Amino acid sequence: MAQQQPPPTPAPAETGEFLLVRVSDELYALPSAAVREVARWRAPTAVPGAPPILPGIISQRGVVTPIVDLRLMLGLAAQATTRATRLIIMHHESCDLALLVDAVLDLAALPPADLTPPPAALEPSRARLLTAVARYGDRPLALLSLPALIAAVQENL
């Protein structure tokens, strides 16, 4: 008599890798697959008539890239740059942009089981930029949607 094998267990959902950043006093996660580079802050070239969320452009490795102030995109107050300020050079589909953040904290794996939908009470303009929320230690962490962020920037132009 042949032994019955237990049914195969489904493979766990793939854990995502995220770059964790601080924007003001809040923590956010960016999909690491879209991160091309983390660069130190440097003054951009201003673009006349650009909205405040776009403080200017930089040339990074021969590619002209717009800077998006993530604080202003998220409805947070503008702050002066510090030694910890970084530019996160991102690439999504055919779009390159540099996100201005206050600090880069970590590269972390976040299992799908740890992710929950954004709270319903969150203001809609901010909620549309998020894909999920999680915890990082004892602090809340919001996962940013790069496609939604790019769409919001294009709407502000």
Q: pLDDT by residue (tens digit) across 98-146?
A: 999 999 999 999 999 999 999 889 888 889 999 999 999 999 999 999 9
**What domain count does the chain have?**
1
**DSSP letters spanning the chain:** -PPPPPPPPPPPPPPEEEEEEEETTEEEEEEGGGEEEEEE--PPBP-TT--TT--EEEEETTEEEEEEEHHHHTTPPP----TT-EEEEEEETTEEEEEEESEEEEEEEE-GGG-BPPPTTS-HHHHTTEEEEEEETTEEEEEE-HHHHHHHHHHH-
- Judge whether 4 lies within some domain: no
Task: Tell whether 9 is covered by a domain.
Answer: no
Q: Provide the CATH number for the domain around residue 38.
A: 2.40.50.180
Does 110 fall in a domain?
A: yes
5 falls within a domain: no
In a domain, 10, yes or no: no
Answer yes or no: is 3 within a domain.
Answer: no
Q: How far apart are CA 47 and CA 61, in angstroms?
A: 19
| Closest listed residue to residue 67, CA positions, set 79, 76, 54, 51 | 54
Q: In which domain, by residue range, is 137 found?
A: 16-156
In tens, the pLDDT along 63-107 reads 999 999 999 999 999 999 999 999 999 999 989 999 999 999 999
Whether residue 58 is contained in a domain is answered as yes
Q: Tell me, yes or no, whether 8 lies in a domain.
A: no
Q: What is the Cα–Cα distance from 144 to 133, expressed in whole angstroms?
A: 9
Return d(Cα 114, Cα 84) in angstroms, integer: 28
12, pLDDT greater than 90: no
Distance, CA of 109 to CA of 106 (rounded, Å): 10
